[in-house]
Structure 1
Amino acid sequence: MDDPGSTLRVEVLGPLRVVVGGLPVEVPGPKRRAVLALLALAEGRTVRVDRLVDALWPGDVQESGRQALHTHISRLRTHLGPAAARVQTRHGGYRLDLAADGLDLAQARTLLARARETPDLAVLKDAHALWRGPALADLTDVEPIAVAVEGCAQLYREVTDALIACAVGAGRAGDVVGLATAAHADDPLREPAVLLLMRVLAATGQAPEALRTGREYRRRLADETGLDPSPALGELERDVASGSGKGGPAPVEHTRPTTRLFGREAQVATLHRLIGSERLVTVVGAGGVGKTRVALEVAQRCEASTVLLLAPVTDPAAIPHALAAALNLQVAQGDVLAACIALLGDRPGLLVVDNCEHLVDAARDTVGVLLSACPGLVVLATSREPLGLAAEYAFRLAPLALPDSDRDLAEVPSVAVFLDRARRVRPDAAPTPADLHLVADVVRRLDGMPLAIELAAGRLSGFSLTDLHRRLDRALDLLGGRTGGNGRHRTLRATVEWSYELLSDDERRLFRYLSVFVDGVALDDAERLAADLIPDTDPGAVLARLVDASMIDAAFAEGGTRYRILETLRAFGLDRLTAEHEDDDAGDRLLRWAVDLTTWFASTVATEREPEADAVLRRELANLRAAWQSTRSRGAIDDGAVLVASLHDAVTYRDLIEIRGWAEELAADFIGDPALAAHPRAAAVLGTAAEAAYHRGDHATAEGLARGGLDRATDKFGTWCCLSVLSVVALARGAHAEVVEHSLAADAIAPRPRDNPGVAALAMAYSGELDRARELQARGRSGAVSPSMRAWNHYVAGEIESVAGDTGAAERHYLQAIDLARTSGATFLGGVALVGLVALRGRAGRTADALRGYRDVVDYFARTGNWTHLWPALRNLADLLRRLGDPDDAAVLDSAADASSDAPAVDRAVRPPAAPAVSISRAEVLRVARDAIERNLSR
């Protein structure tokens, strides 16, 4: 539970207001207020540094903007005091951690959604009261804030409309006369405001004024826009004139939804807007995503609508007869479709055509005729692929939102659907917090697919929640049910197979092979696979067809187009691979892809394109994990060795703990199998594993692996790997002569300029030989090309200048190193440079900056498990604590470091032991450090 004093609330529905621990806090300066507003409006998402800089300093040089931004972030944390930690530094940007009630905008949205599900006048009044004036009026010169302010204004209109409508429905129209009048005055041409004011006036005995308002709107709309109002105005005028009530829509006589709709309010609202401007809207999505349910919700909210269900129709010629039945039209003879057109005529109305995919050609022809012959008709279709008409607007329906944290799980739409259906089969079982976490994992593994979630919840009639969770690996068959009365499929396997059978043979084959990619595949890779599997076709056309058929999903991001397959569809594809005896071939192709990707990474990461290589590696990590597991299950030692050796840079600089584990796992095979002693990549594998062992603080294992690799080395790269590890292990021991020996030997055979001269320079600097250190640092600088190597060079220069006592120069180098490391994704380099920076600031008397820096350092290295570099930071922190009059905590940290085998050696002439070495748990060490930091910051 959060400390009440560190709670943070940001209010944007009016002038920016900040409340920390229940007390208002002043944030001075428009730029700083804009930074806070942009982070708050992101609602928990990370905002990239370049986006913040572009928004706040659009005409300035990026570098100066970055420096100014970091300054504002630092000062913003100072303003927030005990809530400073809620401004979090993330890879490439910043994030504001707010509780569920920490942003008034999100609170207003939640209250509105709750009131729409269950009308509640008090809830809507609370939502309306959150506005304190125009939103962020003094910050609208920042473009993203101006865009967000427009969204706030739209939300205000929606809340106001809902409040007025609810008050009328509750017989409290007199309470909202002023509000309805003001809403109409703000935008006299907004029809919902006009209709609501008319309803309020009629309900308060002012029918003539209500009719006058309607006439004035009709005249003004024609004069200013040349448009006519919707039929709703005429219907309301008739109702008011006849005194028949409030003018609500007549009941819709068609298929009605039988369950509550969760998490689709935004999609339903969007579809309502679309059918107001488009003639044909097709809701497209995978089977089981909820297309029919959303379409029925839209139809239910329309005045005049007809629903045509095509799922039971198997003969294309029967579509007109099904339409006539939906229209309750008896056609004894003649052209049935012509009779339907005559009935529909030119009157306005909505026709929902559900489940078109198995009759897509006939459905396209029928809808095309209806749109041409019935000018007032709007068609809302549902299909797993678009119909293909020129007038069509394809609206792709995504699965339900998934939980992204442990907060408010029951309110997440996918979880809410599960709980709602579960209550129907086990009404007495109230979910515990542990149950909610299991449900969250269930819905994640089912991709948020409503059908899958409903079927899973239904299985609680025969399984406990734990048993269901354990069996989800066979969800395609486990989650079965009866076929619905309308012919719809009610098992996951049947639902997926329905779509699969509509594909061509080539499309099916590509779908099967794509299913081995567990986390999607980039466009270029997908096209290469398609061209290889289906050489005589256009790869892009086959991929587009799979997207249109909702078998794969195309996601568009900065990294380019990426194709993903929902987990239930992917499981089906893997089953089909086995059935077609293609699983071995598909697995081979995945390994070739992984080898090609990691080989590309190894060469590209050494260039100025390192940030691109880092982004690709992180994006493909899940697929590489699947490839790695395949090397283990297949005994593919050669492929595994290529993966590990090619990812040496990731092991060294990127804190990707999982890849470090792969290296040590494969090294164990090389050590345990004499037949692998002469493997050409043995030294590279053992050297990479030695690097991984060094980072987790096991220096003895690191040295043993490196020396074993040297004994087997047959190539320069493997030899270089092992010598490099020996140099950093020697540096941790304080054996500076060995460091220089191993580093220079490694540098002499390095396949490209690396960090070895810099490691030797550190040893020289720590030995007091500053001239020699600067010479070696200059040698390293001359060959530095990639951002991480330039970052390393700046870090080494910062260490040298720190030892020399030039605080200003050292700080500039540390800051450059941190910035370059962030740019390149070399998180480890950023961490060690931050250690040097905060130690320097502590010695310079910048206590608050240093303590906040140590807080970040402790969190970072504790999270990555790198105690080899955390111990020096804790020793530096101990020095600062002693200077601040906190000798007890300093002694605990120093003695714990002295007792730890993975703490680097210290020069006892410079730093004598303050107390006998005492071994305490690492959790206790972290607690002591964090408590001491916070206590001294609060002084």
Structure 2
Amino acid sequence: MGASPVRVEVLGPLRVLVDGAPVEVPGPKRRAVLALLALAEGRTVPVDDLLDALWPDAVPDSGRQALQTHVSRLRGHLGPAAARLRTTEAGYRLDLGPDQLDVAQARELLDGARAAARHDPADAAARLWRAHALWRGPVLPDLAGIGPIATAVQGCARLRQEIVDALVTAATDAGQGERVAGLAAQAHAADPLREPAVLAHMRVLAATGRAPQALDVGREYRRLLAEETGLDPAPALAELERDIAGGAAGPVPDRVAAPVLPTTRLIGRDGEVGAVHRLLATERLVTVVGPGGVGKTRVATEVARGSDAVTVLLLAPVTDQGAIPHALAAALRLTVARGDVLAACAAVLGDRPALLVVDNCEHLLDAVRDTVGALLSACPRLSVLATSREPLGLPAEYAFRLAPLPLPGPDDAGADPAALARVPSVAVFLERAARARPGAAPTREQLRTVADIVRRLDGVPLAIELAAGRLSSFSLAELRARLDRSLDLLGGGRATGDARHRTLRATVEWSYLLLTDEQRRLFRQLSVFADGVDLDTAERLAAELDPGSDPGSALARLVDASMVEADFGAADGTGGTRYRMLETLRAYGNDRLGAEGEQDAAAARLIRWAVELTAWFAAEVLTEREPEADAVLRREPANLREAWRLARGRGALDEAAAMVASLMDAVAYRDLVEFRGWARELAVEFADARLAAHPRAAAVLGVAAEAAYQSGDYAGAERLARAGLALATDETARSYCLLPLSVAALARGAHAEAAGHALEAAGLGPRTSESYGVAALATAYAGDLDRARALNERALATATSPMLCSWTAYVAGEIDNLGGRHELAEAHYREALGLARRSGATFLVGVATVGLLSVLAAAGRTDDALRGYRDVVEYFARTGNWTHLWATLRDLAGLLDGLGDDAAAVLLAAAAAAPDAPADDRGGGAGPTAPAPGRAEALELARRAIGRNLSPT
């Protein structure tokens, strides 16, 4: 163009810069002409439009001449950039690029942020902060009386709203909720009835740990909307409220789980916390060692509070040594569908500085030792803080022994009361006592009694808290008298660590003996649950143990007695209260089960609970209530694992088979790899001819076949499915076997065979929609797209849950993708992704993402596709899902081939040689001639190729 650079800014008072220097434009009409031309964003503004804007009532005879004069003077103001103000036959035009007009720049940043938000919310937030900063004050305040400019001002206000809404969302997703909390509150306060602002404010509050306030905002919005408009809010509000109540809308840090930190004040442990912090600066493994109840967990979590990049692994609910890697994966919020779970966890922890807290190791010492040793070797910048009653026994370990709380000395009886109250053991007692019995500050005599009590309890924090909690029933003097009698049972001194442990046990037993027989029975039976129970389960158990009584009262009594903890609004994905026991108390409850001869009955109850829960899941997951069913199942793996262990250990084959048969959907769509292992484990027994007549044999073999398919073992899937078909005596069992048979055939590229099996399964069981969808997919891959669409319409007509609707949307995307209808395919894939995420169907999230990326690549959106491939390749690599990783690498190779990158041929050769790679149903590319690399080399090759083809921006 040849003209000097010029920039016009309208997001505030009008400002013009030529060659970076501000230029003064005098006169309101001249400034209005410049603003109108700039707001046209490069379009010609007719002369009549300018005249009507400047003189809205009546254009004077001299109006045209005056306008020409203003334009001429504007060119003079623009100086070396005057050529940008052009005169055309229709009117005037100001040539400005998007980066030369702030409002256009803001819009471009918003569009870029929306594209980036799918893959990198932090990048999206950074763009939006730049856009938000472009506003310098009220938009064109001295020109807002001019009609067209007033309209533009309203448009700028709407644009700013969109930017603020998007900024709050992106920053929240990026873990920057605190930074935008004030902005979200201001946007909401500015327009309390604008739903996007309300929802964004609620998300920020939930993400920053203020879920109750978030729910209050939602309730107030409902009230205002009803009062002001008489309308109900959109369904999005109810969905967000459910997420917040269930903990799903909380903060989601980058790749590591947020530690569960206590909210109460830690008393008397500043020195120990500081010492552990200093040790971790030089030692890679520190184990806090001490007797049960001494406060090891509390000190460790306080250390975690002051550390960055922390993952907390709670082992108290884990009873199986082999389940430790799965528990670690859950703590990392990592889904491992295939491969070595521990290796996937190590890959996530990587080589960046991080702290792993492993709590309650003593009952799994050998397995913890192996796990921690492997992680320290694989992750050179990882530090581990463990808690255990004894050291792990690794060479790199520093054992930090935690002593009980400091006690008042025997000469402190006459000490200053304020000084006595500051002794840590006394301070802990007083803090807990104030919650049990609020009242006036203790007298000097009462403080002496407290000092005597905590000395007799040897400063063990758990014992002190349990004893102080009894003040809801006794006076201090009565408490000391009863505690004396309990301690007399020890029959010895209390100087040694073993005696301290006996003192704690006596304190627990003393609290236990204060319960009624019915309350003790409920306490014992609850102790079999490894990870606590929800309110409904607790009350049903109480009612079963003591028919005719009030189950809520018994439960409340256990909470009041500090024998059970009530976690209100527990983040368990379902909302509501969760009832848990401290591990010391749970261990005591298990001991009492044995002493009372109730272990078998308690085990039977837990197993029955697991059978009923999984049966409920199987029924609900195929309805609109699928998200709730998914949340409940994901909340209970520790309890289900314990039930599975007990069922297998007691030879409860019927119950184990019932659990596996109910987990078909979890195995097929939810990447819950542990359940897949149960199915294959049980299938080995059902392959025995002596169990062929078992009524659930066919169903178990069908679920095991699905598990084999998900693991890439197509031959094993077909063998198990055919064995199940030979035993099937009902339609549902046949469908359980035909479906994995169909998808295994589909993976081999046997399209006609896959469609035949799927159509045979249609109508036999509850998964008719899935069956028609598989048949449609096979038919589409075989080339008959019209028939495939007709079959998928039948699938959609019979879909009963979000996951099944997601499945049909994914199949529709595949059909349109094969037919070259890429825009329709993209819409279907995005619909599938939304439904799959809402329903918890993680398998569909993965495959629909790969489909979407192939569409982006075909549409020429290369950078978007490459960034997406980068993310999904890493996701499948972390989860060990090589079957779908090969399919992804094959699609990536097609994109790289179009870019002229030589890596394409090598990746195709690797996929062609991989035994666990599915058939190439999209027919991508010519046969490769390059040598075939292995997994690791192919993965690294893909990473490098993506990096060098991404645009520098």
**TM-score for the superposition, normalised by structure 1:** 0.56
Do 1:690 and 1:706's aligned partners in 2 also have CA atoms closer than 8 Å?
A: yes
Q: 1:97 aligns with which of 249, 254, 263?
A: 254
C-alpha distance in 2, partners of 1:698/1:776? Answer: 28
| Residues 36-115 of structure 1: pairs in structure 2 closer than 5 A | 36-39=170-173, 59=193, 95-97=252-254
Residue by residue over 1:598-644, the C-alpha shift from the partner in whole angstroms, topping out at 9 and shown as x without a partner, is 11111111110001111111111211111111111111111111000
Equivalence for 2:680: 664
Residue by residue over 1:124-154, the C-alpha shift from the partner in whole angstroms, topping out at 9 and shown as x without a partner, is xxxxxxxxxxxxxxxxxxxxxxxxxxxxxxx
* Matched letter for residue 933 of structure 1: I
Residue by residue over 1:153-183, the C-alpha shift from the partner in whole angstroms, topping out at 9 and shown as x without a partner, is xxxxxxxxxxxxxxxxxxxxxxxxxxxxxxx
C-alpha distance in 2, partners of 1:562/1:535? Answer: 22
- Report the CA distance between 1:863 and its aligned residue: 3.3
Equivalence for 1:373: none
- Report the CA distance between 1:34 and its aligned residue: 2.6
- Report the CA distance between 1:357 and its aligned residue: 4.8
Q: 2:872 aligns with which of 835, 853, 857?
A: 857
| Residues 399-414 of structure 1: pairs in structure 2 closer than 5 A | none
* Matched letter for residue 447 of structure 2: V
C-alpha distance in 2, partners of 1:833/1:52? Answer: 37
Equivalence for 1:588: 604
C-alpha distance in 2, partners of 1:847/1:98? Answer: 26
Equivalence for 2:660: 644
Q: How large is the RMSD of aligned CA atoms in angstroms?
A: 4.8
SS in 2 for 1:892: helix
Q: 2:168 aligns with which of 4, 14, 34?
A: 34
Q: 1:363 aligns with which of 472, 475, 484?
A: 475
Equivalence for 1:537: 549
Q: Which runs of 5+ in 2 are unaligned?
A: 1-121, 133-162, 208-246, 258-264, 275-415, 455-463, 484-489
Q: Indicate how the Cα distance of structure 1 residues 612 and 569 shifts in structure 2: closer, same or farther if over 3 A, else same.
A: same
C-alpha distance in 2, partners of 1:703/1:623? Answer: 32
C-alpha distance in 1, partners of 2:828/2:197? Answer: 15
SS in 2 for 1:309: helix
* Matched letter for residue 363 of structure 1: S
Do 1:309 and 1:354's aligned partners in 2 also have CA atoms closer than 8 Å?
A: no
C-alpha distance in 1, partners of 2:818/2:922? Answer: 17
Equivalence for 1:739: 754
Do 1:44 and 1:96's aligned partners in 2 also have CA atoms closer than 8 Å?
A: no
Q: Indicate how the Cα distance of structure 1 residues 621 and 53 shifts in structure 2: closer, same or farther if over 3 A, else same.
A: farther
Q: Indicate how the Cα distance of structure 1 residues 529 and 769 shifts in structure 2: closer, same or farther if over 3 A, else same.
A: same
| Residues 684-703 of structure 1: pairs in structure 2 closer than 5 A | 684-703=699-718
Q: 2:649 aligns with which of 620, 627, 633?
A: 633
- 563-572 or 539-548, larger mean C-alpha shift: 563-572
Residue by residue over 1:162-220, the C-alpha shift from the partner in whole angstroms, topping out at 9 and shown as x without a partner, is xxxxxxxxxxxxxxxxxxxxxxxxxxxxxxxxxxxxxxxxxxxxxxxxxxxxxxxxxxx
* Matched letter for residue 788 of structure 1: M
C-alpha distance in 1, partners of 2:636/2:739? Answer: 28
SS in 1 for 2:434: strand
Q: Indicate how the Cα distance of structure 1 residues 36 and 492 shifts in structure 2: closer, same or farther if over 3 A, else same.
A: farther
Residue by residue over 1:478-518, the C-alpha shift from the partner in whole angstroms, topping out at 9 and shown as x without a partner, is xx993699x98764423322321221211111100001110
- Report the CA distance between 1:740 and its aligned residue: 1.2
Q: 2:423 aligns with which of 245, 249, 257?
A: 257
Do 2:603 and 2:646's aligned partners in 1 also have CA atoms closer than 8 Å?
A: yes
Do 1:680 and 1:715's aligned partners in 2 also have CA atoms closer than 8 Å?
A: no
SS in 2 for 1:518: coil
C-alpha distance in 1, partners of 2:188/2:808? Answer: 29
| Residues 356-435 of structure 1: pairs in structure 2 closer than 5 A | 356-357=468-469, 360-363=472-475
Residue by residue over 1:231-264, the C-alpha shift from the partner in whole angstroms, topping out at 9 and shown as x without a partner, is xxxxxxxxxxxxxxxxxxx993425426999xx9
Equivalence for 2:535: 523
Q: 2:918 aligns with which of 885, 896, 904?
A: 904
SS in 2 for 1:563: strand
| Residues 8-407 of structure 1: pairs in structure 2 closer than 5 A | 26=130, 28=132, 29-39=163-173, 59=193, 95-97=252-254, 252-254=418-420, 256-257=422-423, 282-283=434-435, 307-310=447-450, 312=452, 355-357=467-469, 360-363=472-475
Equivalence for 1:828: 843
Q: Indicate how the Cα distance of structure 1 residues 919 and 885 shifts in structure 2: closer, same or farther if over 3 A, else same.
A: closer
Do 1:307 and 1:354's aligned partners in 2 also have CA atoms closer than 8 Å?
A: no
- Report the CA distance between 1:364 and its aligned residue: 8.3
Equivalence for 1:679: 694
C-alpha distance in 1, partners of 2:866/2:652? Answer: 49
Do 1:312 and 1:488's aligned partners in 2 also have CA atoms closer than 8 Å?
A: no
Residue by residue over 1:647-684, the C-alpha shift from the partner in whole angstroms, topping out at 9 and shown as x without a partner, is 1010011010100110001001111x221111111111
C-alpha distance in 1, partners of 2:189/2:660? Answer: 41
Equivalence for 2:620: 604
C-alpha distance in 1, partners of 2:270/2:877? Answer: 41
C-alpha distance in 1, partners of 2:494/2:732? Answer: 61
Do 1:743 and 1:757's aligned partners in 2 also have CA atoms closer than 8 Å?
A: yes
The answer to whether structure 1 residue 892 and structure 2 residue 892 are counterparts is: no
- Report the CA distance between 1:281 and its aligned residue: 6.8
* Matched letter for residue 914 of structure 2: S
The answer to whether structure 1 residue 710 and structure 2 residue 725 are counterparts is: yes
Q: Indicate how the Cα distance of structure 1 residues 603 and 98 shifts in structure 2: closer, same or farther if over 3 A, else same.
A: closer
Do 1:605 and 1:613's aligned partners in 2 also have CA atoms closer than 8 Å?
A: yes
Q: Indicate how the Cα distance of structure 1 residues 36 and 611 shifts in structure 2: closer, same or farther if over 3 A, else same.
A: closer
C-alpha distance in 2, partners of 1:99/1:791? Answer: 28
Larger relative contact order (C-alpha < 8 A, sep ≥ 6)? 2
Q: Indicate how the Cα distance of structure 1 residues 94 and 678 shifts in structure 2: closer, same or farther if over 3 A, else same.
A: same
C-alpha distance in 1, partners of 2:255/2:711? Answer: 33
Q: Indicate how the Cα distance of structure 1 residues 54 and 762 shifts in structure 2: closer, same or farther if over 3 A, else same.
A: farther
Equivalence for 1:936: 949
- Report the CA distance between 1:719 and its aligned residue: 0.9
- 841-850 or 646-655, larger mean C-alpha shift: 841-850
Q: Indicate how the Cα distance of structure 1 residues 251 and 549 shifts in structure 2: closer, same or farther if over 3 A, else same.
A: closer
- 501-510 or 29-38, larger mean C-alpha shift: 29-38
Residue by residue over 1:438-479, the C-alpha shift from the partner in whole angstroms, topping out at 9 and shown as x without a partner, is xxxxxxxxxxxxxxxxxxxxxxxxxxxxxxxxxxxxxxx9xx
The answer to whether structure 1 residue 913 and structure 2 residue 930 are counterparts is: no
Equivalence for 1:157: none
Q: Indicate how the Cα distance of structure 1 residues 283 and 872 shifts in structure 2: closer, same or farther if over 3 A, else same.
A: same
The answer to whether structure 1 residue 883 and structure 2 residue 895 are counterparts is: no
Equivalence for 1:654: 670
Equivalence for 2:937: 924
The answer to whether structure 1 residue 617 and structure 2 residue 633 are counterparts is: yes
- Report the CA distance between 1:571 and its aligned residue: 0.9
- Report the CA distance between 1:917 and its aligned residue: 5.2
SS in 1 for 2:579: strand
Do 1:747 and 1:757's aligned partners in 2 also have CA atoms closer than 8 Å?
A: yes
C-alpha distance in 1, partners of 2:723/2:603? Answer: 32
Do 2:909 and 2:928's aligned partners in 1 also have CA atoms closer than 8 Å?
A: yes
C-alpha distance in 2, partners of 1:844/1:803? Answer: 13
C-alpha distance in 2, partners of 1:906/1:775? Answer: 23
Equivalence for 1:453: none
Q: Indicate how the Cα distance of structure 1 residues 862 and 307 shifts in structure 2: closer, same or farther if over 3 A, else same.
A: same
Q: Indicate how the Cα distance of structure 1 residues 63 and 584 shifts in structure 2: closer, same or farther if over 3 A, else same.
A: farther
Q: Percent identity?
A: 53
* Matched letter for residue 676 of structure 1: L
SS in 1 for 2:567: strand
Q: Indicate how the Cα distance of structure 1 residues 638 and 845 shifts in structure 2: closer, same or farther if over 3 A, else same.
A: same
SS in 2 for 1:519: coil
Equivalence for 2:343: none
Equivalence for 2:345: none
